[in-house]
Amino acid sequence: MKNLLLFFTVILIAYSTYAHNIEVCNTCPISTLKKAISSAKDFDTILVKKGTYKEHNILIDKPLTIIGKNYPVIDGELKGEIITIVSDSVTVDGLFIINVGTSYTEDYAAIRVRKSKNFVIQNLVLEKLFFGIYLEKSRDGKVFHNKIIGDAIQEYNSGNGIQLWYSKNIEIEHNFVQHVRDGIYLEFSDACLIKNNVSAENLRYGLHFMFSNNDIYQDNTFEKNGAGVAVMFSKKIKMLNNTFKENWGTASYGMLLKEINDAEITGNTFEENTIGINIEGSNRIIYKNNNFINNGWAIKIRGACYTNHFIENNFLYNAFDISYNSKVNDNIFDKNYWTSYTGYDLDKDGIGDVPYRPVKLFSYIVNRTPETIILLRSLFIDIIDFSEKVSPVFTPDNLLDNNPLIKRIIW
């Protein structure tokens, strides 16, 4: 008898601590997500069946797993924020969230995580949104496989796809962000990994970094964004194997670096941008094994950039390879491949015998008087470029690649 009692007690305890499944559907006893959350215990799983749920201001204040089956629609009816997570260890999976309210005083998000840890947000589809996924003072979370499709038209009344604010150690992977203001935005967020995302056709930036250190972004694609990618005021960032494509416009660039120190930029492709990389006040950066293809300017160095290393990059068919606006240079260009290199290699070691000067006189002139760009590819310009190449007067005479490669580098 005693044993039996013990057995039941154990079962009871086990049962009470074992996570329940709570089902939500339009015809179930529990027909709203809010009701399901309030009746759930810690570590329960809420299964949301296919259907449309018109709810907003859903507060998740206990560690729950919410799983949508066949993408149930959570419709916020443009009334405000839809899901707010304030508890640790919350998983949200497989929901279709639409109609986030727009406000000029509050940043309504489709899903917001506030001061929480160990969350997972995955397989969501967000449409008609203001802000998409907003992580605020949170850490150790994952944002996977989400699809965010906005309909932003103007910058002032649109929000960002994925926004991180004072967050730490977040993994953002395989997301697809389109037509919002900034695709992915990080502010004061350290040690994050941004990987395999596609951020395209956003109004302003595909990716926007501010005051965020020690982050890695790799294998992402940033395409056709209003102004490209901006990385500002940050330290020790690694940018690996990303693609920056077709950021065309009067003030567009593949990537903008402003006040970036000690970064590593490796294996990226910059293709068909008005400016490949626009660099301002950035020091001790290593640019290695990048491809610059068909850009207007491959690299535009604006000023206050010291001790940068440009090593083993391919500069292919850019209108201007480097634009440089000062006479002082202590940046190092070495072992790059330049399609406009015209030297020879007599000893056949694969390295050109004549140094290459990547800054043309014309690019110096265009820097001074931008209207002269109309003379691009004129015969006269070719002649003055040639004479400047022979004896540099206007361009810094130590800005040269002493070991230009003869063949395109393949890695």
Element (DSSP H or E) covering residue 65: strand 65-68
Binding marks (x or -) toward another protein, 229..268, rule CB under 8 A?
-------------------xxxxx----------------
* Paired residues of 24 in beta bridges: 48
Q: How far is the CB of 247 from another protein (least distance, A)?
A: 10
**Which residue, 7 or 317, is less far from another protein as judged by CB?**
317
Q: Which of 277, 212, 215, 209 is nearest to 240 (CA)?
A: 215
Task: Count CB-CB contacts under 10 A for residue 18.
Answer: 10
- Of the pair 233, 394, the CB lying nearest another protein is at 394
- Selected binder of another protein within 2, 348, 377, 407 (CB under 8 A): 377
Task: Count the site residues for another protein by CB under 8 A.
Answer: 32
* Ramachandran quadrant class, 380 (left: phi over 0; alpha: psi -120 to 50; beta: rest): alpha
The helix (run of H) or strand (run of E) holding residue 277 is strand 275-280
CB of 27 to another protein, least distance (A): 54
If one asks whether residue 380 binds another protein (CB under 8 A), the answer comes out as yes
Site for another protein in 343-372 (CB under 8 A): 365, 368-372
Q: Is residue 148 involved in binding another protein (CB under 8 A)?
A: no
Closest CB to another protein among residues 104, 380: 380
Q: Could you say whether residue 407 binds another protein (CB under 8 A)?
A: no
Interaction of residue 274 with another protein, rule CB under 8 A: yes
Please give the sequence-ordered ranges of beta strands (E in DSSP) within 76-166, or none if there are none: 83-85, 91-93, 96-98, 109-114, 120-122, 125-127, 131-136, 142-144, 147-149, 162-165
Measured in degrees and rounded to the nearest 5, phi and psi for residue 388 equal: -70, -35
Q: By CB under 8 A, which span of 11-19, 81-89, 170-178, 273-281 interacts with another protein?
A: 273-281
Residues 123-142 that bind another protein (CB under 8 A): none
Burial 335-363 (b: 16+ CB within 10 A, else e): bbbbeebeeeeeeeeeebeeebbbbbbbb
C-alpha 69, offset from chain centre: 30
Distance, in Å, from the CA atom of 288 to the CA atom of 240, rounded to the nearest integer, reads 10
Helix (H, G, I), strand (E, B) or coil at 360: coil
Give the pair of three-digit tokens for residue 154: 């103007």
- Least distance from another protein to the Cβ atom of residue 240, Å: 25
**Least distance in angstroms from the C-beta of 80 to another protein:** 40
For residues 139 and 204, which CB has a smaller minimum distance to another protein in the complex?
204
Q: Are 255 and 228 in contact (CB under 8 A)?
A: yes
Token readout for 58 is 């859903």
In the complex, the smallest distance separating the C-beta of residue 266 from another protein, rounded to whole angstroms, is 24
Q: Is residue 297 at the binding interface for another protein, with CB under 8 A as the rule?
A: yes
Task: Examine residue 317 and tell whether it contacts another protein (CB under 8 A).
Answer: yes
Least distance to another protein, CB of residue 379, Å: 5
Q: Does 379 bind another protein (CB under 8 A)?
A: yes
Applying CB under 8 A, among 45, 261, 269, 294 the residue interacting with another protein is 294
Strands 332-334, 309-311: pairing is: parallel
Q: Determine if 273 is a binding residue for another protein (CB under 8 A).
A: yes
Q: Which residues pair with 139 in a beta bridge?
A: 117, 168
Q: How far is the CB of 339 from another protein (least distance, A)?
A: 10
Instruction: Find out whether 253 and 247 touch, Cβ atoms under 8 Å.
Output: yes
Q: How far is the CB of 181 from another protein (least distance, A)?
A: 22
**According to CB under 8 A, which one of 373, 394, 406, 409 is a site residue for another protein?**
373
308 in contact with another protein (CB under 8 A): no
Rounded to 5 degrees, φ, ψ at 364 are: -65, -45
Among 19, 30, 232, 381, binds another protein (CB under 8 A): 381
One-letter amino acid at 53 equals Y
**Closest approach of another protein to the CB of residue 160, in Å:** 26
Could you list the residues that contact another protein (CB under 8 A)? 248-252, 272-275, 294-297, 317, 319-320, 365, 368-381, 383
